[in-house]
Amino acid sequence: MKIALENNLSETAFAVKEGEYYGLRWFTPGGEIDLCGHATLAAAFVLLRFCEKEADSISFQTLSGILTVKRRGDLYEMKFPAYRLKSVPVTDEMENALGVRPAEAYIGRDLLCVFDAPEAITKMEPDMSKAESLPGLLLHVTARGTKTDCISRSFAPKMKIPEDPVCGSGHCHIAPYWGKRLKKAQLVAYQASKRGGTLYCRMEGEHVYLAGKAALFSEGNIHFLVRENSCQEK
């Protein structure tokens, strides 16, 4: 938790070799989370690049079961469980938190709010203090895209993250919704955060396959205090 707090990123992933699998856990600055897409992709990218160089796939034991990432050219594809969505009433509290009234709302692990226009997503300036009181662990907003099948943003004030740059677990809600609505098994999704990101999604039964690209941007060491006036590298 202290490392995740120092990093202050959406999630920090920790992987440990455990037999044929790697144990994998994810922590936000606000606590542990049970599913995270981009940190799983990042973990697989690092392990396949540095530790399992001859492998084409890697499997993780997680709080959401076994997650497998396959390398397909320059894409890394992950298999995730699809969240079942239950329609819920659109409320004044949702409108007050988001600044725009959703056309539809659904609950899975997270709250999914659907809008009629992509501009509602890109121009949205949610009130995080009000969004924190809404149901669901995370909050996702989505609309039909113009250049992609859908566009979305993800917010996680309950986990001390105002906005997630690219949310894999969010698309375990978003992709099933748009797949059913557009009657498509394969989708291209765009996360319209400040950084932005494209996800290639496909649905198979109760699972969602998410693929994306990864890039190495930093290598380093973590130093931690062992005792007073002494420090050790790990």
Active-site residue numbers?
A: 11
Side-chain-facing half-sphere of 120: CA atoms under 13 Å: 19
Q: Residue 35 is which amino acid?
A: L
Residue 132 Rama label (left phi>0; alpha psi -120 to 50; beta): alpha
Look at residue 150 and give its three-state secondary structure: strand
Intra-chain end-to-end CA distance of the chain, in Å = 16
Dihedral, CA of residue 46, residue 23, residue 204 and residue 103, to nearest 10 = -90
Q: From the CB of residue 119, how many other CB atoms can be counted at a distance below 10 Å?
A: 13
What is the Cα–Cα distance from 6 to 187, expressed in whole angstroms? 35
What is the Cα–Cα distance from 131 to 93, expressed in whole angstroms? 8
Q: Return the H-helix or E-strand segment holding 227.
A: strand 223-227
What is the Cα–Cα distance from 132 to 139, expressed in whole angstroms? 9
Bridge-based pairing of strands 223-227 and 65-72 is unpaired
